[in-house]
Structure 1
Amino acid sequence: MIFEPYALFAQILFVLVPFYLYQMFWLDKPYRFSRYRFAVMASCGALSMLLCMSLPVISYSEHYYDLRQIPFIVASLYGGYGVMAFLYVVSAVYRLWLGGSGVMLSLAVTSGACLLLYAAIPRFYALTPIRKILLSAGISIVTAAGVILYTFRKLQAPLESEVLFSSGFFAFVYVLASWIIVYLIETARRNASFRQALLLSEKMKVVSEIAASVSHEIRNPLTTTMGFLKLLSKTTDPQKQQYYVDIATEEIKRAQHIITNYLTFAKREDEAPVRLQAAEELGYVTAVMEPYAQMNQVELRSKLEPCWVEGSRHDFRQCFINLVKNAIEAVPQTGFVEIRCLMQRGAVVISIEDNGVGMDPEQIKHIGTPYYSSKMAQEGTGLGMLIVLNMVDLMKGRLDICSTPGKGTKFTITLPACEPQPEIRQTG
């Protein structure tokens, strides 16, 4: 009896091949490879079996002992009857091609394993991981015992210490390898299940954040529209009525634009940047937020110099509406919010200043964190400032915050200036 220790370690490696391939092509990508389940399991099992049969651990009287039954058992249990039949044919054909007097032993052992697998496969997936490990190990024990008994009784192998040690060690590794491979597969399946659950949880979290962000952004134009409709009901001046209707209509369009952006969130194409007259855009923001300021008894001031920047008109307006709204809500009654815009050292500097409650360094540190807000519970989501930071980043600007608790806050946004929009002259 010739025992090859190096071949045993190689066989263990061959047995692990289907585990890694199974994890790579099946567990981590179940939806992508679901239609190829049979091909993946059958190919992994066949590859491992052929490698094991090509490098036997023990050779004795034209009989070759290897770990081929382990991938056969494991792949059949996880792949089903079709995989079992395919691997049986592959094993039989290759063993016949190798030749020798051990062909009948190989076919007998594989056929016996098939009978055990035929009874075990229907119940296998319903078992707990521990029971799956015990079942596969049990089938391996029966198979290994059959091989050893045949060796000593039919081939009349001598009961020498070397033969006994080689046979015993082979049987031990046989069962241990079967136990380990099923344990690794079950661990990988459990980890894959955890990953899927985590991905689902993350997706639900994103959906929740988007829903909260939509409600936050829609609330601003709806509040503005409500304010102008109230003003509309209190005036009989046709010019003012038309002005209020125009502003309310513009805010409804802005709400529609927000909804469209979120509905196409995954495929959203950013607006092409245009040249904006910052003072005019901030004048629009002031007009939009004036009713909200009056409702909160806050004086809204503005000092705007003509300046030009480049960016998305919608994002620019949305950014400063959020800042002004936050400032108004932070101011106690009879306070003020002041909007300034001026050119300074070749840049456009826009500031929003209030004499409200202010913020401490810890609150400033968390600005822009989703669901963190310095407002009272249930009154803020922190998503408005996230949009502000995103706009500043897109326009390659800088945001500075200066705040003192009890005295107020000043947000200063510095944006690159651009050349004014050339006037289009009509001739004729």
Structure 2
Amino acid sequence: MGSIHSFLINLFVIVISILFMQFWMNKRDISSRQYEYVVFVTFGFSIILCMLFPFKISEGFIFDLRFISFILACFYAHPITAAALGVLVAVIRSIHGGDGAWIPIIILPILFTLCMELRPVFNRNKMYSRIAILSFLTFLTCIAVLVCIYVIFQHPLPREFVYSFIIIHVLGMILSIYLIEFFRSQNLILTRLIRMEKVEVVSHLAASISHEIRNPLTSSRGFVQMVQESPGLQDKDKEFLNIAVQEMDRATAIIHDYLTFAKPAPDKIDTISTKETIEKAIGVIQPLANMNNVIIHSRLSTHHVEGNQSLFLQALINLLKNSIEAMPQGGEIRVTSHAESKKVHILIEDDGIGMTPLQVTRLGEPYFSTKEGKGTGLGMMVVFRVIEAMNGAIQIDSEPGIGTKINVCLPIFKTC
């Protein structure tokens, strides 16, 4: 009973730490560096408290739930943060001393390596699969600890203690993952609601003012072009007039994006070949790619979806254009498509500057752009709006300095 009491105290500490961490995660202005600080402090605090309330079966051997916090950090934090927490575990355990101090030194490097190998699989799966992966990993960790004690140190353990040690570890990991995933999903829903409200505001503005602005803008552009053709203009005047035309064209393009929001449901529904449309988008954007020393590789399969072909083409062009602009020094873009579970997945990967988690969550919001004042954010709003109108979804994975991977998922239309 003493071991169960100690383990439940440890579990309570871990749950409180997760709740505290989620309180900070709900703040939308938190940066990726601040996120890592919060994770390190939170999980580090839970590790220290767990090791302050251990269960001892003999001198030199102490047991607690510190490995739960370490494993969670390996999958929900940056690898450097997780490695730092592993060092923290080893240092604190060495201070306690005893023969058992060697166990974390033996297990932690192996566990860290295994977690890093499983991390891509973990990120691709949803909540229940994630629970299964980490629960099984926790079970293996418990077995490894018990085997080390029995084989290396020849120390027998009571059967009741072995059962409680494994069961509470696994149940504690299940509870921890469920809480983290639940709060993450709620935060995602809140982010989507905020984005929808902002898009709705833009839609009303688009319907009310876009036509009124575009008409005088078009007339003004025509008059400026007439002035450009006048004889006797100096080169400096022509340069100024050319800049004015370019800015009018840019304003017209922005208004065109606004009009996309005013009509979320397209009038014309087409049966679209994803392969042909992607190839057309690549053909349109290829000159810009050549100018920026960007090579586009494609590996496409033929599938059909429903939607407005011109809007879908516009969305793909916007995504490819963003990938090119994310690589000012040149690079590669990989475009692939495949079918899975009655859906077609269009993957666009680049080796660009990447984005922070905060920037990823804000993509699609009005006037939010990662182009440092050169963008309006309306391009990604068009993308989200078009894909949502086609009953699809967009998943974006990005890491600063490494690149961005965009997964456009659309339901497959079965042709007769």
Q: TM-score, normalised by structure 1?
A: 0.46
Report the TM-score, using the length of structure 2 for normalisation: 0.47
